[in-house]
Structure 1
């Protein structure tokens, strides 16, 4: 049995046939794909325990992510460490999603570790202890954290409602773009690392685990974000909607478009200062987007 590259739990690897990659089924990190060259890169980097915890946490929030050498080197290895309070909120949110209804209890599972971005059991216990002391979670039964059943208290549900409406301290940058393989490299090589370089955490709905309708998840994630990066290449209606919704909430939107699609850009968007890019200048786009985010919002909290 092989071990996970990030949490070291025993996992199953499945070959993806013609693809130069394998699919990992991890009880803690969830499911992800990783290329063979990325595996070599990850091993040779000798990741710290904190880096492993951050990547594990990001993967469990972004199920089915495809790890390659580009996105590993550009932003996975530099992921931010959430604050202690943010770790507690993340774990509380996970428990809520696993709970069928208010008043129900759930058993401990290994994903508690990743959802709280904990390096080890001691850190996880501290997060759980805080949730108990703040009367947000009630732990019942057993002597150890992994033996307990967990129930969110009324105070915990109220707190979740409050944080879902407040993005003032959010470190998330929502990415609205065409879900197409032809521009997948744009996200991996430019947008995600640019957001990370500016001190924020990139999020795209098709890379996240959720059970709701995708439109509902998009709205929820935009509400939780500090800003939106919208790329209009391909002129998808969903991108126009997401950018418009973000503007309606008063969020900052950063506008992008590939040069050969600029002529078809909707007239309402042309009034904004759009960053134009092409396939040969992704590094330039990365630097320009980072600079613009920092000039408008200042540097974020991930470094």
Structure 2
């Protein structure tokens, strides 16, 4: 073991050689947490987000807190950064802080330390911003200071309870997609990826409900930890209304999936992670709306939805690249959200 500067935050950290990959380092950093990194990634890392070095600190620390340290390789650096749901306001950062304190508090009256080096746990950009937001949380009644330690106040416990009731402790994942016989293989592939990551996939046409379908859909999205949205375009059809041959009385069916855009946008507005997928074909890619073209989309082919096997981590030591859509979905979930608490519900096909 030796002490050198962390490749991400440039603070001193402990380095050990990886036991599984000869050219990798295992790093334990007080700021970024525990992570593994390849030599190629280490040389590339400074060029990925030169103006926002804290982004990788956020994602590696979050994975470390979940006891699921990341392995950084050259090919996934940009994907990791693109996967981050940036806090949309200081209040969102304070929410992260409240959840962290509530998780670390073993007893309600026992205060915990909040060292300035812990700023990534709240998705703060620096130790200075972290201190500022701690003071604001105290002003809001969320935190109480006890000497050099902190504990949740009554309002903090109330807020933590509200947050945990929604997306933060959910094991559900909503799937927004086109319902058709042509998408049955896609459906099974996505369900296998989500289930193997420890979450329960929710697809609207597989659930019983009463009342308005959109009330049901929006309620299920609110209960989910994340959303998988498929933006594949369906071949358009012109359908005439009965009793008339006038073209102006015809309507276009299928095509771009407006419902998927609506549901993905609703989830984004709630602050949920949305994993974008799309079939790798010109008809679908060329019709992606400008607003979603910038997203880190998982593109898939028909060959990648034939099999839904998700290999175990120890089966991918020497071939870690995903072999099918199920593994692509699984990898993205584990990378940005960590493993859920459920056992796989759907059998893989080989």
TM-score by length of 2: 0.51
Instruction: Give the number of the structure whose residues are more often helix, by fraction.
Output: 1
Match of 1:261 among 307, 320, 331: 307
Matches of 1:117 and 1:235, distance apart in 2: 31
1:70 is matched with which residue?
75
Shift >6 Å, 4+ stretches: 225-231
Report the Cα offset of residue 261 of structure 1: 2.1
Matches of 1:231 and 1:21, distance apart in 2: 35
Contact 1:90 1:115 in 2 (8 A): yes
Report the Cα offset of residue 109 of structure 1: 2.9
2:61 is matched with which residue?
60
1:100 is matched with which residue?
106
CA RMSD in angstroms comes to: 3.8
Q: How does 1:204-223 map to 2 (within 5 A)?
A: 220-222=169-171
Match of 1:42 among 22, 42, 45: 45
Structure 1: runs of 5+ lacking an equivalent: 142-147, 171-219, 265-277, 287-303
Is residue 69 of structure 2 the alignment partner of residue 23 of structure 1? no
2:123 is matched with which residue?
117
1:158 is matched with which residue?
158
Matches of 2:196 and 2:324, distance apart in 1: 23
TM-score by length of 1: 0.58
1:3 is matched with which residue?
5
Contact 2:305 2:324 in 1 (8 A): no
CA spacing shift, 1:102–1:231, aligned 2, 3 Å: farther
Write out per-residue CA displacement over residues 134-182 of structure 1, whole angstroms, 9 at most, x where no aligned residue: 10101232xxxxxx20011121011011112234xx9xxxxxxxxxxxx
Match of 2:91 among 72, 76, 85: 85
Structure 2: runs of 5+ lacking an equivalent: 178-186, 208-218, 222-226, 231-276, 278-301, 310-321, 330-350
Matches of 1:89 and 1:32, distance apart in 2: 25
Matches of 1:245 and 1:227, distance apart in 2: 6
Matches of 1:3 and 1:122, distance apart in 2: 21
CA spacing shift, 1:96–1:233, aligned 2, 3 Å: closer
Is residue 129 of structure 2 the alignment partner of residue 126 of structure 1? no
Contact 1:4 1:11 in 2 (8 A): yes
Matches of 2:188 and 2:12, distance apart in 1: 39
Give the secondary structure class of the aligned counterpart of 1:75.
Answer: helix
